[in-house]
Amino acid sequence: MKISNILSTIAILALVSGCTNKIVEQDVSTSNNIAVNNSIQKQVIKDVKIQEVKNVEKTPTINLKANEIEFLEILKNDKYASICGSEADYQNILQLDNPTEKSKKLEELFYEYTKNLSNSCINQSAFKKELRKRKYRDANQDYEVYNVDINKEKLLEKFSSNTQSVSSILETYTPKHPQFFALIKKLNDSSLSQSKQDKLRLNIERLKLLKYSNSDNFIQLNVPTYNFAFYEEGKRTKTFGTVVGAPDAQTPVLSSKLAYFIVNPTWNIPDSIAKSSIIPKALKDRNYLRKKNIVIRKNYRLDSKKIKWGDVKWKKYLKKNVKYIPYKFIQLPSRTNGMGRMKFIFPNDYAVYMHDTIGTWRFKSSKQKIRFTSHGCIRLEHPVSLMKYLSTNYTKYSYKKVRGIYDSQKTDTIRLNKKLPIHLTYQTAQVNNGKLSFYNDVYGYDKIQKLNF
């Protein structure tokens, strides 16, 4: 019964009661009747409100299994930020009285929730379509996503059997990055504007698309913050600066594993850099190649056929339509090598890697135009620190031995006996010491990645 109807009934009863009394008695008891009626009215309102709350918040756990009850608790605060477009389904489940029907609907929602957790709530098809458009416009953008194939039958079998808790089932699909739950905690910040709420949520979803291993030790290179971070046992232990790809030569977003590093490397200069920089400078200064310790070969092997500068008509390779150069420029190991003294390799399809640099002055600046200037590779502020860490923890050599090779200026390859996961990320929102910070969308991914809810 509605509160308004009850109040009307109370008023009528009070009126009838008053009419049956004598005028004299009515005058004497008016204040008492009003007090009693007010008291009854308040109690009835209170009882009705309690009943309405009970009707809305029906106990959803009656005749439900342990995992179903646990899942409802997870959904209550959306612990893993993965309800996404299933909010209406969740609300409908709360209103169901039939335990069998509720269990069936919970199973379906659990499958959707797990998919959203493992593969994100980003509209990936629209994002890929936008990337293809940009590539057509000759914009070099590469953003790898790592989706998980979920066996629905096996997943729901685990869920319904109650032999494994919901949290332990979802753990397999939960991002291992500590920023994941740190960012989720900030979703309830009422001071954030809608645009910042959207940006925050987008960055939570991006963490779902990294390729995680079973290790809590990894390296993260975050492009928007142009920094390098070590994570050991899930905690960030060391950070330093980087220089990353310019907007027209972007550092790709990907996950891989660090496999080896080269001490005193040669630099196999890409055709694009040879065309845009090396050849024009060598045409102006015939001593340029000698001063920079650059040689020309038939391919990127130093023992391949030597090519003399004067034997080739180089100007034809500067034409806009020419992409391939049949001769290769190699910079020999030296203190002025463009790679610096070290190069760190992780397999990928884009020929990018981390390396030392002779342009250390750039790390003193926080200006975007100074730090976003590479051709896609990542220049490190403290490569020796990384070399020491890897030598000590991931190779069969001591740091003393590797340092000796470094000081000798001889080229050598040091392989890791245990590969270290590495993530090249694009996080424009991060939590640092409990504080949420936002960063510039340098490559424009915030604009073209959209949520699907």
Could you list the residue range(s) of the whole structural domain that residue 419 is in?
179-265+339-448
Are 383 and 341 spatial neighbours (Cβ–Cβ below 8 Å)? yes
- What secondary structure does DSSP assign to 270-297, as a single string? -HHHIIIIIHHHHHH-TTHHHHTTEEEE
Structural tokens at position 84: 């996404």
Q: Are residues 250 and 288 in the same domain?
A: no
Compute the residue count for the chain.
453
pLDDT at position 25, please? 39
Instruction: Please indicate whether residue 84 is annotated as part of the active site.
Output: no
- 158 plus 283 within the same structural domain: no
- Indicate if 167 and 187 belong to the same structural domain: no
Q: What is the DSSP letter of 61?
A: T
Q: Which of 177, 355, 375, 423 is catalytic?
A: 355
Residues 378 and 261 in one domain: yes
User: Which pLDDT score, from 0 to 100, does residue 343 have?
Assistant: 96
Q: Do residues 205 and 425 lie in contact, with contact meaning Cβ atoms separated by under 8 Å? A: no
Residue 42 lies in a domain: yes
Specify whether the CB–CB gap between 244 and 372 falls below 8 A: yes
Does residue 303 belong to any structural domain of this protein? yes
Q: Is the pLDDT of residue 20 over 50?
A: no
pLDDT tens-place string over residues 345-360: 999 999 999 999 999 9
Angle, CA of 248, 219 and 343, to the nearest 5°: 65
In this predicted structure, what is the pLDDT of residue 103? 96
For the chain, the distance separating the N- and C-terminal CA atoms, rounded to the nearest angstrom, is: 37
**132 occurs within a structural domain:** no
Mean pLDDT score of the chain: 88
Tokens of 60: 């959803």
If asked whether residues 280 and 373 sit together in one domain, one would say: no
Model pLDDT for residues 146-183, shown as the tens digit of each residue: 999 999 999 999 999 999 999 999 999 999 999 999 99
pLDDT of residue 44: 45
Catalytic residue among 121, 377, 382, 423: 377
Per-residue pLDDT of 179-200, as tens digits, reads 999 999 999 999 999 999 999 9
Q: What is residue 139's predicted lDDT score, i.e. its pLDDT? A: 65
CA dihedral sign, ordered 67, 71, 74, 77: negative
For the chain, what is the total number of helices (H) and then of strands (E)? 17, 14
Please write the tens of the pLDDT for every residue from 363-388: 999 999 999 999 999 999 999 999 99
CA 107 to chain centre: 28
pLDDT band at 101 (very low <50, low <70, confident <90, very high): very high
d(CA 351, CA 299): 16
Are the CB atoms for 449 and 246 separated by under 8 Å? no
pLDDT of residue 26: 41
Kindly state whether residue 420 falls inside one of the protein's structural domains.
yes
| CATH code of 357's domain | 2.40.440.10
Mark whether 256 and 213 lie in a shared domain.
yes
Instruction: Establish whether 377 is a catalytic residue.
Output: yes
Residue 88 pLDDT exceeds 60: yes
- Which is higher by pLDDT, 94 or 6? 94
Q: Taking 50 as the threshold, does the pLDDT of residue 29 lie above it?
A: no
Task: Give the confidence band of 36 by pLDDT, cuts at 50, 70, 90.
Answer: very low
Letter for the amino acid at 239?
T
Helix H or strand E segment including 241: strand 235-245
Q: Considering the domain boundaries, does residue 141 fall inside one?
A: no
In a domain? residue 131: no
pLDDT at 42 over 50: no
Positive or negative, the Cα torsion across 339, 345, 350, 352?
negative
Task: Clarify whether residues 162 and 187 are in a common domain.
Answer: no
What is the reported pTM? Answer: 0.81
Q: Is a pLDDT exceeding 90 seen at residue 429?
A: yes
Quick: pLDDT tens for 259-301: 999 999 999 999 989 999 999 999 999 999 999 999 999 999 9
C-alpha triplet 366, 369, 372: angle, nearest 5°: 85
Tell me the CA distances in angstroms from 230 to 221, 237, 260, 383, 423, one per residue in order: 9, 6, 17, 13, 11
Same domain, 240 and 108: no
Q: At residue 252, does pLDDT exceed 80? A: yes
Cα 365 to Cα 243, 340, 356, 360, 424: the distances in Å are: 10, 19, 17, 10, 21
Instruction: Tell me the average pLDDT across 421-447.
Output: 97
pLDDT digits (tens, 9 = 90+) for 397-421: 999 999 999 999 899 999 999 999 9
Q: Note the pLDDT of residue 336.
A: 85
35 and 76 assigned to the same domain: no
Same domain, 324 and 346: no
- Is there a contact between 431 and 179 (Cβ–Cβ < 8 Å)? yes
Cβ atoms of 277 and 405 closer than 8 Å: no
Residue 130 lies in a domain: no
Rounded Cα gap, residues 377 and 352, in angstroms: 5
Instruction: Provide the pLDDT confidence category of residue 338 given band limits of 50, 70 and 90.
Output: confident
Between CA 265 and CA 400 the distance in angstroms is 19
pLDDT value at residue 214: 82
For the chain, the domain total comes to: 4
Q: What is the pLDDT of residue 134?
A: 83
Residue where one domain finishes, among candidates 56, 79, 95: 56
3-class secondary-structure state, position 419: strand
pLDDT > 90 in the chain, percent: 80
pLDDT at 307 over 70: yes
86 and 52, same domain (yes or no): no
In terms of domains, do 95 and 234 share one? no
